[in-house]
Amino acid sequence: MTEHGTGPRLRRDGVSDLLGELLHVGIVVERLDAACAAFERLVGRPPSRFWESAVGVRVAFFEVGGTSLELVEYTGPIVERFGPTLARREGVHHLCFRVDDLDAALAEVRGRGFSVVPGFPVEGAHGRIAFLDPEPETGLITELCQVRVAEGRGAEAPPSEASER
């Protein structure tokens, strides 16, 4: 964040540090319950929580070695709402990075020649999110997230339009 709390951070060399910490790695699965059982056997503990959105996703959160892994099952018409970029592709799907100001970050990435997936930003599990169209060289999708902060607590607030189970 800049001194005034908006936009990307500037490094000493004057180049902006657009991306903050890696928030999570998104892994698309066909059946969330089966994937959770298999992953639980691997990591030795159940997911820390679940989240479901009217957008058409169910998510299980695993914290492993300081990294958040999110198993994502599509439950609704993702392609119809957001286009083919987010179409079902089992396996590692996207990397999510924290940004201080999503609107400023989107303006900057557009200026760098990236395209934002139509229909974004929306509210996600952690705050306002937007996905970028993948670069042909990597095929990996990038998600940017302005984390929702609880008033006066300085910590991530619970999702507002989501349902947890």
Domains along the sequence of the chain with CATH? 9-147 (3.10.180.10)
**Calpha distance 151→153 (Å, rounded):** 6
Whether residue 84 has a cis bond before it, omega within 30° of 0: no
Question: Quick one: pLDDT band at residue 156, thresholds 50, 70, 90?
Answer: low
**Calpha distance 132→130 (Å, rounded):** 7
Q: What is the pLDDT of residue 58?
A: 95
Does position 33 have pLDDT exceeding 60, yes or no?
A: yes
Question: Quick one: pLDDT band at residue 154, thresholds 50, 70, 90?
Answer: low
Chain mean pLDDT for the chain: 84
Question: Quick one: pLDDT band at residue 153, thresholds 50, 70, 90?
Answer: very low
pTM of the model: 0.80
Contact 68, 25 (CB under 8 A): yes
Contact 131, 143 (CB under 8 A): yes
Q: What is the maximal distance between C-alpha atoms in the chain?
A: 48
Question: Quick one: pLDDT band at residue 34, thresholds 50, 70, 90?
Answer: very high
Q: What is the pLDDT of residue 147?
A: 96
Contact 51, 62 (CB under 8 A): no
* pLDDT per residue as tens digits for the range 48-60: 999 998 888 999 9
DSSP secondary structure letters along 11-71: -TTS-EE----EEEEEEE-S-HHHHHHHHHHHHSS--SEEEEETTTEEEEEEEETTEEEEE
Q: What is the pLDDT of residue 72?
A: 94
154: left (phi over 0), alpha (psi -120 to 50) or beta: left
* pLDDT per residue as tens digits for the range 132-144: 999 888 888 999 9
